């Protein structure tokens, strides 16, 4: 984009006016794991995903209808492929958070910040800096400690699913950078097509399930509807538009740095609102994950 600002070029007050909405996105993303856990069971995962994205998809399509018509057939196919990967990410994340704590989910998924540079290094055959490798090792050790609770035991199913979700997120990032058809297209229509493809996948899966989206919605009370609206409006629609707005007023690296605080807020929400508790190993592991991912982000440049 031709009008991206240099971080230091913003006046301090203006920089904070841009930073605060982005930081709020990190906060709501951190809280999204607890919200998803609160309104979802293993039987209603697919139904909740249909509802979550079907609520916001018409808004995105209406706002970006002109840019959607401007997409080429190749761009539609490329975005559709990315949408299939995205559907896998959301399925793994949502099933994962059902079977583990919200805090574990937020911290384990942050390993994407370590996995992505490692995958890029493997694809380009460029050895990453030693500092980054050390940070990656620290993060992995942190996850091992985090998932142990009071002693060394087998990680839960949810922990393993969140680890797979982090790997799937890495695949999604790599695909976005390497699928030539989508390069140069606007973010809004690409996001809309991806979410549309994901909703189609969820709808097909829900067709053969015992619990339908409409049956699940009919059984929701005020608490569940509040959680669903939070996930749809704030964690999806609001978050997307804030990112588009912010990246035009500051640098992508500054936006990434602020969004990188997501695991901190996931831990805060899980402990303060979800009543989740850790033993000494869990606390040490969570701290190592946060330190390792922050260090790795800086080392990767």
pLDDT of residue 10: 47
Token pair 């493997």 in the structure block, residue: 122
Over residues 161-191, the pLDDT tens digits come to: 999 999 999 999 888 888 888 888 888 999 9
Residue 260: which of 211, 298, 209 has the closest Cα?
298
At residue 203, the pLDDT reads 94
Low-confidence residues of the chain, pLDDT below 70?
A: 1-15, 148-154, 251-253, 300-301
Check residue 151 and give its pLDDT. 47
110 — phi, psi (to 5°)?
Answer: -65, -15
SS3 for 185?
coil
Integer CA distances (angstroms), 87 to 53, 172, 227, 241, 301, in order? 11, 10, 20, 20, 29
What distance in Å separates the CA atoms of residue 206 and residue 223, rounded to the nearest whole number? 23
Which stretches of the chain are DSSP H helices? 12-39, 45-63, 65-70, 73-98, 102-109, 112-124, 130-146, 157-178, 187-207, 213-218, 222-229, 239-247, 252-259, 262-272, 280-300
Q: What is the pTM assigned to this prediction?
A: 0.85
Tell me the C-alpha to C-alpha distance, in Å, between residue 107 and each of 10, 37, 157, 176: 31, 15, 15, 24
For 246, half-sphere exposure in the C-beta direction (CA atoms, 13 angstrom radius) is 27
Q: Residue 111: CB partners within 8 Å, gap ≥ 6?
A: 139, 140, 143, 163, 166, 289, 293
- Write down the pLDDT at residue 9: 43
Cα 257 to Cα 162, 201, 210, distances in angstroms: 22, 32, 42
Contact criterion met (CB below 8 Å) for 149 and 281: yes
3-state secondary structure of 192: helix
**CA 230, CA 10: separation in Å to the nearest integer?**
31
Asked if 4 and 247 count as a contact pair (C-beta separation under 8 A), the reply is yes
Q: What is the pLDDT of residue 243?
A: 84
């Amino acid at each position: 984009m031709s009008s991206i600002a240099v971080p230091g070029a913003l006046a301090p007050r203006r920089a904070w006016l841009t930073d605060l909405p982005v930081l709020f996105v990190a906060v709501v993303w951190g809280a999204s794991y607890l919200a998803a856990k609160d309104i979802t069971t293993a039987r209603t995962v697919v139904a909740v995903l249909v509802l979550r994205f079907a609520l916001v998809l018409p808004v995105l399509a209406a706002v970006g209808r002109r840019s959607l018509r401007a997409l080429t057939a190749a761009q539609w196919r490329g975005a559709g492929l990315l949408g299939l990967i995205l559907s896998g990410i959301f399925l793994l994340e949502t099933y994962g958070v059902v079977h583990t704590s919200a805090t574990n989910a937020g911290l384990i998924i942050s390993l994407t910040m370590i996995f992505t540079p490692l995958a890029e290094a493997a694809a380009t055959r460029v050895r990453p800096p030693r500092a980054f490798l050390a940070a990656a090792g620290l993060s992995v050790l942190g996850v091992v400690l985090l998932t142990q609770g009071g002693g060394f035991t087998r990680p839960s199913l949810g922990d393993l699913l969140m680890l797979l979700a982090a790997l799937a997120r890495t695949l999604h990032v790599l695909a976005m950078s390497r699928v030539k058809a989508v390069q140069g297209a606007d973010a809004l229509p690409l996001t809309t097509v991806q979410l549309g493809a994901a909703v189609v996948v969820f709808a097909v899966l829900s067709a053969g399930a015992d619990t339908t989206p409409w049956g699940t919605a009919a059984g929701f009370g005020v608490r569940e509807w509040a959680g669903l609206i939070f996930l749809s409006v704030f964690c999806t629609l609001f978050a997307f538009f804030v990112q588009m707005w912010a990246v035009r007023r500051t640098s992508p690296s500054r936006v990434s740095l602020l969004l990188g605080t997501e695991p901190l807020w996931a831990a805060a929400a899980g402990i303060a609102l979800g009543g989740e508790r850790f033993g000494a190993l869990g606390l040490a592991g969570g701290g190592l994950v946060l330190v390792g991912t922050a260090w790795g982000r800086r080392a990767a440049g």
